[in-house]
Amino acid sequence: MAAMNEQDDFLTGRIARIPAPDHDADWDRLTTQARIAMTRAYAPYSNYPVGAAAMLEDGSIVTGCNVENASYGVGLCAECTMIGALRMNGGGKIVAFTCVNREGEYITPCGRCRQLLHEFSADTMQVRTAAGATTLAALLPEAFGPRDLETINVEMP
């Protein structure tokens, strides 16, 4: 089997290293990656494929797609599979995120996925929606997360 290169990373949705000196979001690149991921979605029940892409603090890009199941409640949103890929490839903090539907249009993450993104977000994470770029904090105000647990001292009996 031939070794994979950076072009293969771009086409397969594997984490790809890209320069990001100031962590400015490259929305065009993220959108392209989300659209590629959307083509791999498994959505036979809703017929609503979704692709997601995020840029991490180190400049890498990670992607995911929704994966449905005949038992509707166990379907996975694109953000869920993206976070799984993030963890499988070494982790990191998300600085920019977007997701798209079948038409490649920007959509906004559901509440559950906003909470999931918060768990792995950098403090200044940006989210590209149909209305434009905003912060995750604006989409999920007063969010509860790992930082809240750091301040709690729980004694076990």
- Taking alpha carbons only, the member of 68, 74, 67, 38 closest to residue 53 is 38
Buried b (16+ CB within 10 A) or exposed e, 123-155: eebbbbbeeeeeebeebbeebeeeeeeeeeeee
DSSP code of residue 143: -
Buried b (16+ CB within 10 A) or exposed e, 1-36: eeeeeeeebbeebebbebebeebebbbebbbbbbbb
**Is residue 103 annotated as part of the catalytic site, yes or no?**
no
Active-site entry in 6, 57, 68, 79: 79
The residues that are catalytic are: 79
